[in-house]
Amino acid sequence: MSVDVNRHDPPSRGAATYQAGGWTSWLTTTDHKRIGVLYIVTSLGFFLVAIALALLMRTQLAVANNDFLSPQTYNQVFTMHGTTMIFLVVMPLLSGFANYLIPLQIGARDMAYPRMNALSYWVYVAAALTLYSSFIFSTAVDTGWFSYAPLTLPAYSPHEGIDFWILFIILAGMSSILGALNVAATIIKLRAPGMGLWRTPLFTITNFINSFLILAAMPSLTVAVSLLYLDRQFGTSFYAADLGGDPLVWQHLFWFFGHPEVYILILPAFGMISEVTPVFSRKPIFGRTALIIATGLIGFYGFTVWAHHMFAVGLPFWFNALMAGTSFTIAVPTGIKIFNWLATMWRGSLVFTTSLHFVLGFISLFVVGGLTGVTLATVPFDWQVTDTYYVVAHFHNVLLPGSLFGIMAGIFYWYPKVTGRLLNERLGKTQFWLFYFGFIATFFPLYIVGLLGMPRRVYTWDSGQSWDIYNLISSIGGFVIGLGVLVFAYNIVVSLRKGARAGNDPWDAWTLEWATTSPPPHENFQMLPAIYSARPLWDLKHPENPDAVAPEGVLSAAQIDNRIAQLEAEPERPYLSSIPILVAMGLLTVVAGMLLTTEIVVIAAVFVLGALVAWTFQPAPAPAISPPVGVDPPEFDREVRLRERFDSGTLGVLLFVFSEVIFFTSLIYAYVDLRMSQMTWPPEGLPDLEIGLTAVATLFLISSGVAAHYALISLEHQHKQRFRWVLALAIVLGATFLSIQGYEYLTADFGISDGVYGGTFFTLTGFHGAHVTAGLLAFLLIWARTFKKGGRFPTEHAARGVTYYWHFVDVVWLVIFTLVYLW
């Protein structure tokens, strides 16, 4: 039995409230679609800025010995171009699409954590303001997006632009981690009944994999910049070679983030290609399973190749060979993806929309970027071309025809879903050809000029080296792309009002987002069609030739009507909260205080804490469960058990802990690496650490963990009084640990600026102490709520999440105690 996919049309539920509220509702919205639009619009704004910066560079480099930009301005421009494109354009643009599309593609009403979703957007805005305000309050950062130490240390970069950049990175990292956590939890918890993980749309799947990449990669960067901040502001010497530090620690931490970051920028774009290609080939995606596995492998290998950015730094032979080997390996799954896309078109029926143009352009050019990537992994060749324009051409070849063409294919494909109107195809194709030939003209000459010996990041160059013609062509090409961007911007704006009406499903597509109106109503769906294959709408439209046979359990029309009636009767979920934006602006004030006037830091931090406490008291939106469906396949029971294994709060904590593991691993790596390179430990004149008292403190912390766990079990068994008292004990034990650590700090014979010894001790124990403090505050909050008259008793969910986090903090301490005190 098939279900009429258009039954929910026109939208009714939530439509009125969704429209009401005026412009301020954009500031307080927690609706995933509005947040998605905010992300997309903001990042497209920064896209224009980044393109302008690129054109400034190409203007400067068009001719030899040009003095259009001063050296420092040029260095700022290339740093800001890279930083903006990566952190303020491509990542948030992809976040925007993920936000908008994932709940629609999996048939959910919203993301798993709607308020946190708003928070990640507003923290991104705070990050952007931090970075760009450096133009006003200070000197913009000029050390490259990679900002290698020791160039970034105060001795060589005394200006505060570096500090702005550091705090910007910390905020941007926070935003991405919150966003990734949300995406992962949403996909784990909120898929519609019948949508097994392997049936999930490929854009959603790539985002699922991507969210783990972000969770694992960003903390390494956060550690790198935190240590840099300590070096700059607190006199530690993590990166200062003359004081025992090592600049290579920065490089390892940076590239452990930096390489996966490339995949973070491109995998969701691959996902878009995988959505667009089959629809415009009128065939299912070829080798779906192979594509998913390949994506997973690319993501995984991404973490095993970081040192291919460091072949010239003099690492051991075997290590370089290993990193070359793993890097080559990535070519295989990438090739699998390319061939599967080609095979999807093969024997298909190609509809030459603008979207498909971008797909074709993507394949034709991306393959060059992929292959030059293989050449760069070939160590001896890399020694020659690394840090030349060959590399600039290579990664633009990956990111422009790869990431950007993929995103453009996606924008032309989904714009009608978001706005209800189609983009202009003629303008779209004009833009495509400008991009296509503009790209070739801009970057192919740069491969050549790199082979001809032109280093990158030079603000000018001399004539007489055969570089002139290539640079000139490249600059002209850059402006051709710029023209394409203008056509694109015009198309986006004009089509909003004048574009042809799209209808619900303009492309005759097969995934769930096309089963609702354009734009979708507040809670996305009135009802979902039955899902028993990867193409639910194909099955619906082609009952004569479905991908899979409908299983038993399809509901009758009467049952469906009944479900719709139930849904209509449900109260609407709240979708406005002013707390996320307040938290983000509080964080921005903390950062501003750290940069400009330290007095306000404490006030702002207290404000943020207060807002977070208020957050926990605000009634949470009901869980964004999937709306009723037309089918209850038996296998859904299995899925239910799987996704009900953890409540969404605990799941969020576990995902966060995953990220924290990388954070502490990175920190501990820095400690071990630096300690191994010291002659003596502790250094001359500094005392060894006292183990006795700390061992006692360790016992307190472990006991606190045991107590917390017992409290949780008590709560699970509904022993509320016992829960209250045992939790209090856990808090006291934890606080005792902190007090002992505080005593140790006060009586220590050395400080944080006493070389690597003092720096690593205070940094490791300090970051751990901050985590203990956060855990204690969370416990206190739960404990306080046990006394709230008439209020709801703390749920198991909250207690379980914090308890798991507390166990993690214990384990980290055992590692730190072993490595710092016992070693």
Partner 1 sequence: MRLGSRLTRPPVALGLLLGILLTASGCEDAPSILQPRANEAAEIRNLAIILLAICGAIFLIVQAWLIYNIVRYRRRSAEEPVQDHGDIRMELTWTVIPILIVIVIFILTVNYMDVLTNPPSNMEIDVTGRQWWWEISYPAADFSTANEFYVPIDETVRARLEAADVIHSFWMPQIGGKTDMIPGHTNQSTFTITQEGEYLGECGEFCGVQHAHMRFLIFAVDAAAFSQWVEQQQQPAAAAEGEQAQAGEALFLSAGCGGCHTVRGLEGAAGLAGPDLTHVAGRTSLAAVTLDNTPENLARWIDKPQAVKPGNLMPEVAVSVDEIQALVAYLEGLE
User: Do the beta carbons of residue 631 and residue 531 sit within 8 Å?
Assistant: yes
* Minimum gap (Å) between residue 461 Cβ and partner 1: 7
* Minimum gap (Å) between residue 777 Cβ and partner 1: 40
Residue 145 annotated as catalytic: yes
User: 203 vs 459, which CB is nearer to partner 1?
Assistant: 459
User: 294 vs 581, which CB is nearer to partner 1?
Assistant: 294
- In angstroms, the Cα distances linking 472 to 81, 279, 454, 635 are 20, 40, 14, 62
The Cα–Cα gap between 152 and 159 comes to 9
Q: Which of 334, 388, 475, 760 is catalytic?
A: 334
Helix axis angle, 161-189 to 71-83, nearest 10°: 10
The Cα–Cα gap between 723 and 707 comes to 10
User: Do the beta carbons of residue 423 and residue 499 sit within 8 Å?
Assistant: yes
Q: Which of 147, 211, 274, 765 is catalytic?
A: 274
Q: Which of 142, 261, 632, 754 is catalytic?
A: 261
Residue length, the chain? 823
Angle 269-275-279 from CA coordinates, rounded to 5°: 145
* Minimum gap (Å) between residue 755 Cβ and partner 1: 13
The Cα–Cα gap between 202 and 200 comes to 6
* Minimum gap (Å) between residue 51 Cβ and partner 1: 22
Residue 282 annotated as catalytic: no
Q: Which of 13, 32, 191, 308 is catalytic?
A: 308
User: 342 vs 811, which CB is nearer to partner 1?
Assistant: 342
User: 108 vs 345, which CB is nearer to partner 1?
Assistant: 345
Token pair belonging to 368? 């060059």
Residue 122 annotated as catalytic: no
Helix axis angle, 161-189 to 648-676, nearest 10°: 140
* Minimum gap (Å) between residue 27 Cβ and partner 1: 40
User: 22 vs 316, which CB is nearer to partner 1?
Assistant: 316
* Minimum gap (Å) between residue 323 Cβ and partner 1: 11
Residue 308 annotated as catalytic: yes
User: 459 vs 663, which CB is nearer to partner 1?
Assistant: 459
Q: Where are the beta strands (DSSP E) in 564-624?
A: none
Residues 6+ apart with CB under 8 A from 813: 698, 701, 768, 772
Query: First CA to last CA across the chain, in angstroms?
Result: 68
User: 378 vs 578, which CB is nearer to partner 1?
Assistant: 378
Residue 175 annotated as catalytic: yes
- In angstroms, the Cα distances linking 303 to 257, 263, 297 are 8, 10, 10
* Minimum gap (Å) between residue 374 Cβ and partner 1: 6
Tell me which residue of 12, 10, 98 sits closest to 518, measured CA to CA.
10
User: 431 vs 626, which CB is nearer to partner 1?
Assistant: 431
Tell me which residue of 642, 668, 788, 809 sits closest to 741, measured CA to CA.
809
Q: Which of 337, 394, 417, 522 is catalytic?
A: 337
User: 480 vs 583, which CB is nearer to partner 1?
Assistant: 480
Residues 6+ apart with CB under 8 A from 407: 90, 93, 94, 97, 269, 272
Residue 725 annotated as catalytic: no
Q: Which of 283, 456, 675, 785 is catalytic?
A: 456
Residue 176 annotated as catalytic: yes
* Minimum gap (Å) between residue 473 Cβ and partner 1: 9
Cβ-in-10-Å burial (0-12, 13-18, 19+) of 367 comes to middle
Residue 334 annotated as catalytic: yes
The Cα–Cα gap between 802 and 779 comes to 7
Q: Which of 263, 301, 467, 538 is catalytic?
A: 263
Residues 6+ apart with CB under 8 A from 161: 76, 134, 138, 139, 140, 141, 142
* Minimum gap (Å) between residue 696 Cβ and partner 1: 38
Q: Which of 145, 389, 538, 806 is catalytic?
A: 145
The Cα–Cα gap between 61 and 66 comes to 7
The Cα–Cα gap between 591 and 595 comes to 6
Residue 337 annotated as catalytic: yes
User: Do the beta carbons of residue 192 and residue 157 sit within 8 Å?
Assistant: no
Q: Which of 81, 191, 522, 768 is catalytic?
A: 81
Residue 283 annotated as catalytic: no
Residue 43 annotated as catalytic: no
Residue 394 annotated as catalytic: no
> Hey, which residues are catalytic here?
81, 110, 145, 175-176, 259, 261, 263, 274, 308-309, 334, 337, 456
